[in-house]
Amino acid sequence: MSRITNFSAGPATLPLTVLEQVQEELLDWRGSGMSVMEMSHRDKEFMSIASEAEKDLREVAGIPQNYKVLFMQGGATAQFALIPLNLLRGKAGADYVLTGDWGKKALKEAGKYGKASVAATGEAGKFTSIPDRAGWKLDPDAAYVHITTNETIHGVQFQSTPDVGGVPLVADMSSDILSRPIEVSKFGLIYGGAQKNIGPAGVTIVIVREDLIGQASAMTPNVFDYKQAADNESMLNTPPCFAWYVSGLVFKWIKDNGGLAGVGARNQAKAKRLYDYIDSQDFYRNPVAKADRSVMNVPFTLANAELDADFLKGAKAAGLSGLKGHRAVGGMRASLYNAMTEQGVAQLVDYMKEFARTKG
């Protein structure tokens, strides 16, 4: 077996021990005589998998009792519509703070269901920094304020939770959920697809404060109504069973590896190693304001873009994959999710040094 060091932005690398456990349990899950893929979601075996995953997630993330945890489908992209459908609650509109392309997508989708206003945007600076909180134009009557805690494409991340007063704060955490301790009580709703920092694609985690649900717009499809999902323990219809199961194993892996504090410290150390190297020389460059740099996704350019293809080819030969940057920003991007090891980042930095030495 040969496993590559995978810097893909998503779907992304998973902890090896989790994959090994999945492999070991694949044909016969704990004496049930079947794989998790083959079980009825109504049987006690899967019910135990589902409830244990929720219990572990609540423990790991410190989710208060007055929050519901939903295991949904449709990815973060479906949530872009479900959030206004469920949370507008008769109000005219919501505020969006744009720090990259994902926030723009969320804004555009929300505009189909209500007034979606731009409270602040970093677009003039090509999304290389978070707009200063003092300049945000927030409407105190907004149904919610939406932020993207980590913009996966631009590599810009909120380093603290902004204060938006009494209006519920809604956060797309798709690419940094469970990467560091979360102050859940500061949010009205947190959401994220699993495929970046949690598990396989197919399940979307929604953590929502109880008092915000139950007032969905009448046109909301039943399976996408948070109240219905909560009342039915995310099993109004067949849930994404296998993705839910693997996510549950990852929650246990986090528990066994120092919880979010431990994971967060390792993520800081990994990102520091890469940024320190980038800042120490002139061949590679990261354009993001230092205070707003993402710990999860590190975009960087080479001094000469004509060397990009060569860089990627050499990387592949050195056992490093998934480094091609998003087409919107070009260059390279290294995603350093929880399952990326410190050794993997060291390997990348060594390769970058050698490439710059020989080709730069």
**Which is closer to ligand PLP, CB of 8 or CB of 152?**
152
Q: How far apart are CA 113 and CA 16, in angstroms?
A: 42
Closest residue to ligand PLP using C-beta atoms: 75
Catalytic residue among 104, 196, 227, 270: 196
CB of 141 to ligand PLP, least distance (A): 26
**From the centroid of its chain, how far is CA 151?**
9
CB of 96 to ligand PLP, least distance (A): 13
Is position 292 annotated as part of the catalytic site?
A: no
CB of 192 to ligand PLP, least distance (A): 7
Is position 102 annotated as part of the catalytic site?
A: yes
**Which is closer to ligand PLP, CB of 39 or CB of 154?**
154
Interface residues toward ligand PLP, by CB under 6 A: 10, 75-77, 102, 148, 152, 172, 174-175, 193, 196
Burial string for 223-247 (b: 16+ CB within 10 Å, else e) reads bbbbbbbbeebbebeebbbbbbbbb
**Which is closer to ligand PLP, CB of 10 or CB of 93?**
10
CB of 77 to ligand PLP, least distance (A): 3
**From the centroid of its chain, how far is CA 300?**
20
CB of 303 to ligand PLP, least distance (A): 28
Q: Which of 279-285's residues contact partners 24+ apart within 8 Å by CB, and which partners?
A: 281/356, 283/356, 283/360, 284/352, 284/356
List all residues 6 or more positions away from 187 whose beta carbon is below 8 Å from its beta carbon.
Answer: 161, 168, 169, 170, 171, 207, 209
**Which is closer to ligand PLP, CB of 172 or CB of 292?**
172
CB of 102 to ligand PLP, least distance (A): 4
Contact 98, 110 (CB under 8 A): no
Catalytic residue among 95, 172, 225, 292: 172
Q: What count of Cα atoms within 13 Å lies in the side-chain half-sphere of residue 83?
A: 39
User: What letter represents residue 148's amino acid?
Assistant: T
Is position 186 annotated as part of the catalytic site?
A: no
- Token readout for 103 is 């926030």
Q: How far apart are CA 275 and CA 334, in angstroms?
A: 11
Helix H or strand E segment including 315: helix 308-317
- Token readout for 251 is 């929650």
**Which is closer to ligand PLP, CB of 80 or CB of 311?**
80
**Which is closer to ligand PLP, CB of 199 or CB of 302?**
199
Catalytic residue among 102, 104, 176, 270: 102
Q: How far apart are CA 86 and CA 101, in angstroms?
A: 23
Which DSSP symbol is given to 33?
S
Positions annotated as catalytic residues are: 102, 172, 196
